[in-house]
Structures are given as C-alpha cells and as structure tokens.
C-alpha cells in the first residue's frame, strides 16, 4: 500500500509539473512583448505539444503504471491513446528540427531573416508539422502498418471489435506493437535522421556565430564595439539555449528509441515491463525539463516568468484599479492614472524650479 501511494504521488506530481510548466511558457510568450518573435512561435508549438501530452497522454500512462499495464477501456480507445502518444512525440521532434532551421537562418543571414521567416511561413511550417504527425501516428496505427500481419493492433483478433466486452478482454496491456520492420522506418524517420539533421545544423550555427563575432570585433573600432557585439552575443546565447534543449531531448528520448528499435527487430511482443517503464517515463521527463530550461538559460523568459509569478506585468498593473483621490482636483483616479499624475507633477516642479532660477516666474 505504501509503495502504491508513493507511486501515485510521484506520477501526479509529474503530471502537474508538466501541465503547469508548459502553461507558464505559453502565458509568458502571450503577455511579454519581448517574446513576441517569430522564433517563439515554434517554442509555443513545442510547449503546446508538451501540454497536450500532460493532459491527454500522461494520465492514461500513469493509470497503466498503477494498474500493472492492464487497460480496461477497450481496443479502440487504446489505439487512440497510442496514436496520441506517437503523434505528440513526432510533433516534438519535428518542431525541434524547425527550431534549429529557424536559428540557422537567423544566425547565417540576420538581415534577410525577417523576409525569409515571416509569421505566415512559421504558421505554415507548424501546420505542416502537425499534419505530418497525424499521418505518422493515427494513419499508420489505424491502418495496421505497425503490426506483423498488417492488421490493426488490439482489434479484429478473436472478436476484438465485437462489443465492449470482447475489446476489453483483448487488450490486456495497451502499448505500441513493434512486431515487424516498420520499427526501422519509424525510428530512423522520426528520430535518428532528424537528430542527425539537427546536430549538423547546430554545428553550422556555432561555426557561423563564432565567425561573425570574430569579424565584428575585427572590423569595429574599440569605442563602438559594444552594440554590435551585444547583438551577436544575444543571438549566440539564444542558439546555445536551444542547443541545451536539444541535448535534453536527446538524453531523454535516445534510450526509448534504442529500446524500441532493439525490441522491434527481435520481434518481442511483450518487452520487459520494468525496462519499458523506465525508458518511457524518462522520455516523458523531457516535457518537464523544457519549461525549466527556458527561464534558466534565456533572460527574456526569466523576466517574463518573474512578471507572471510576481504579477508585475502590464496585465497586473492595469488589471484591478485602486481608486485614489487626485491632490489637485479631488477626482477619483486609478493606479495607472495616479502614476501619470505623479510624473506630471514632477515635471511641473522641475519646470518651476528652472523658471525661478532664471527669474522668469509666472
């Protein structure tokens, strides 16, 4: 009983951290003008992916863990659950590819970047990512591409489609079937090849950024070096932040895809439960890490997080108004208007002092 309670507490905390952290990322980008950049469209897409994972997938995965992988909801819902899991994983990988390409465009040609990467093109790229993720997950699983005999998993085997009782009896453990060479195409197409592409792009980015900083310092006089170097340094730090996010993704997902590939090539219908749980929840842990990595490595995110948590942003300042009386006319004014009056009074006081000093009092 104690072990079960501890597992329940850990899994619930895991889910709450995933949801709250990614909600905070979305709110930070929405309310902070400093974060209203095209690059952060992909960051929000990644946060939405992790948020959907925490809302739609992780509670069911936790239920499977607590019930020893017994699935009581039937084969059709099992396939939907597995499809959502695969879709969100694929969307995360493709979004990270898009982020790396976006960073390369921003670093390699900063002057042409606003023309190359517009908001419309970013929205089109995100829509394409989600469309491809839907095809890879729902279409593949519901057409049976992932099974050895190309039949839909958990259905159509001994009456799995005939009523709720047969479907529930058929699904003893709900997981993605890995019983044919489809795992090779899936693993390399959705993880290993995108991973190699991202690593190559980031290597090019670091080389270009280092070369640009060297050229700026060599061609700029010493008294005027600070502004251009500051711009280049900010872009370099942003790229380094995304590289750390990529590294966390690799650490979290590489064990799962390696385990997935090995078990699929060996034709294991029932992989070791403990090993599968460890690599699966390590992969899910990436959705918890991303909202932590952004504020710790990006100054703009740190400021936006601080404003949200302390309620010091524009939304909070102009939210509920506290009525005060103006010292000039006794009228009721809000907090924002009070600040403006205070500034006006200070400016008027400075003007009167200057006029008195010049013997031009009115």
> pLDDT tens across 237-267, in order?
666 766 787 788 889 989 999 998 888 888 7
Nearest to 297 by CA among 229, 213, 252, 239: 239
CA 60 to chain centre: 21
224: which 2 tokens? 């005027």
Taken in order of first residue, the domains within the chain and their CATH numbers are 2-314 (1.20.1070.10), 322-357 (no CATH)
Predicted structure pTM score: 0.75
d(CA 246, CA 228): 27
d(CA 46, CA 43): 5
Are 301 and 35 in contact by the 8 Å Cβ rule? The answer is: yes
CB atoms within 10 A of CB 329: 7
164: which 2 tokens? 């709720």
d(CA 362, CA 360): 7
Are 201 and 104 in contact by the 8 Å Cβ rule? The answer is: yes
Pairing of strands 324-325, 332-333: antiparallel
DSSP designation for 69: T
Q: What is the DSSP string of 72-125?
A: -S-HHHHHHHHHHHHHHHHHHHHHHHHHHHHHHHHHH-TTTHHHHS-HHHHHHH
Q: Which residues of the chain have pLDDT under 50?
A: 157-170, 319-362
Helices and strands, counts by H and E, the chain: 15, 2
- Beta-carbon contacts of 259 under 8 Å, excluding residues fewer than 6 positions away, are 271, 275, 276, 279
251 phi and psi, to 5 degrees? Answer: -60, -40
pLDDT at 284: 92
Count Cβ neighbours within 10 Å for each residue of 118-156 and write b for 16 or more, e otherwise.
eeeebeebbeebbeebeebbbebbeebebbeeeebbbbe
d(CA 287, CA 140): 24
pLDDT at 204: 87
pLDDT at 103: 85
pLDDT at 122: 94
């Amino acid at each position: 009983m104690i072990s079960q309670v501890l597992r329940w507490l850990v899994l619930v905390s895991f889910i709450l951290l995933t949801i709250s952290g990614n909600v905070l990322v979305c709110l930070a980008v929405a309310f902070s003008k400093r974060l209203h950049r095209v690059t952060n469209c992909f960051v929000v897409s990644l946060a939405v992916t992790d948020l959907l994972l925490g809302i739609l997938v992780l509670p069911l995965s936790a239920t499977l863990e607590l019930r020893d992988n017994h699935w009581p909801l039937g084969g059709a819902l099992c396939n939907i659950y597995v499809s959502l899991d695969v879709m969100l994983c694929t969307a995360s990988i493709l979004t990270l590819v898009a982020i790396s390409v976006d960073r390369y465009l921003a670093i390699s040609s900063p002057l042409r970047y606003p023309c190359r990467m517009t908001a419309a093109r970013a929205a089109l790229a995100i829509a394409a990512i989600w469309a491809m993720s839907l095809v890879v997950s729902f279409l593949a699983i519901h057409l049976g591409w992932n099974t050895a005999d190309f039949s839909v998993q958990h259905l159509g085997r001994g009456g799995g489609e005939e009523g709720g009782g047969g479907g529930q009896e058929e699904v003893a453990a709900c997981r993605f079937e890995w019983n044919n060479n489809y795992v090779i195409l899936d693993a390399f197409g959705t993880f290993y090849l995108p991973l190699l592409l991202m690593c190559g792009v980031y290597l090019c980015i670091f080389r270009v950024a280092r070369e640009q900083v060297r050229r700026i310092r060599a061609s700029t006089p010493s008294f005027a070096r600070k502004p251009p170097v500051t711009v280049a340094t900010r872009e370099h730090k942003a790229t380094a932040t995304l590289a750390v996010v990529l590294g966390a993704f690799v650490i979290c997902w590489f064990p799962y895809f390696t385990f997935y590939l090995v078990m699929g090539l060996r034709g294991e219908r029932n992989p070791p439960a403990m090993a599968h749980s460890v690599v699966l929840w390590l992969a899910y842990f990436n959705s918890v890490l991303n909202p932590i990595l952004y504020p710790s490595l990006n100054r703009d995110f740190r400021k936006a997080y601080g404003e949200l948590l302390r309620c010091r942003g524009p939304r909070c300042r102009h939210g509920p108004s506290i009525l005060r009386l103006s010292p000039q006319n006794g009228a009721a004014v809000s907090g924002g208007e009070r600040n403006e009056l205070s500034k006006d009074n200070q400016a008027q006081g400075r003007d009167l002092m200057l006029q008195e000093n010049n013997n031009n009092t009115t």
